[in-house]
Amino acid sequence: MAEDPELADAIPPADRSAALEHCVARAMNLPRGRWAGQRTDVTPGGIGLLVIDGLLIRRVAVGGGFGAELLGQGDLLRPWQGEGAQPTLSQSIGWRVLEPARIAVLDEPAAVRFARYPELTGRLVAKALERSRNLVNEMAIVHHTRVEVRLHMLFWHLADRWGRVRPDGVLVPLRLTHAILADLVSARRPSVSSGLSELARQGLVQRVGDGWLLRGEPPGELLQLQPVHVAEE
């Protein structure tokens, strides 16, 4: 719990020190590359997996279509859930670790320890709901016809979570390749490369060494989806 500030903040200050000592869970490290987490339930009877740090992508293909979800610190995962079901539509699911990740294993013993503090249950449910809200926003983004508009909105959507304000703009410190961006906006890689070139020509998005630099204001459509909050550097 000590490594997730949102969980720690859920506990009243008077109880926080005791909770930090009591609410512990083992962690697992994930190196870059493919991850077969959906094949094994490592938390039988437990809550799931909580991302402490790192970056992962979940890709789903249905027929000729596909979509993807970017996941990072604070996201709650149960990658094996539903794997035994037989969906009506044929689909394939793949996970990849983009940046080395640490994940807390909230198994049954951890769930028993967490149960002493009901505030933690509420905060974990909030994390799950926040993930679903992000997915709905991303669905709205990919419905735009023009790929450069999708990309521009996606970057500002990511800035709401990971962005850092700099004198020259807002930095999204994620090393996302054209192929990964293509997955996230449901487009082909050549179209994404063309869209990024157009955004760069307009001075809206620039590739920098440690991520992507956004200039100007968020697109108006995105402001209607959710407010953008970025951290000061």
Segments making up each domain of the chain, as ranges = 5-127, 144-232
The class level of CATH for 5-127 reads mainly beta
Please give the single-letter amino acid code of residue 55.
L
pLDDT tens string 70-129:
999 999 999 888 665 555 545 678 899 999 999 999 999 999 999 999 999 899 999 999
The structure's pTM equals 0.85
According to the CATH classification, is domain 144-232 in 1.10.10.10?
A: yes
Q: How far apart are CA 232 and CA 175, in angstroms?
A: 20
> What is the maximum alpha-carbon separation in the chain?
56
Q: Could you please report the per-residue DSSP string of 109-145?
A: HHHHHHTT-HHHHHHHHHHHHHHHHHHHHHHHHHTSS
pLDDT tens string 1-60:
678 888 889 898 898 899 888 889 999 999 999 998 877 788 888 999 999 999 999 998
CA distances from 210 to 27, 57, 106, 171, 225 (A): 27, 18, 32, 9, 27
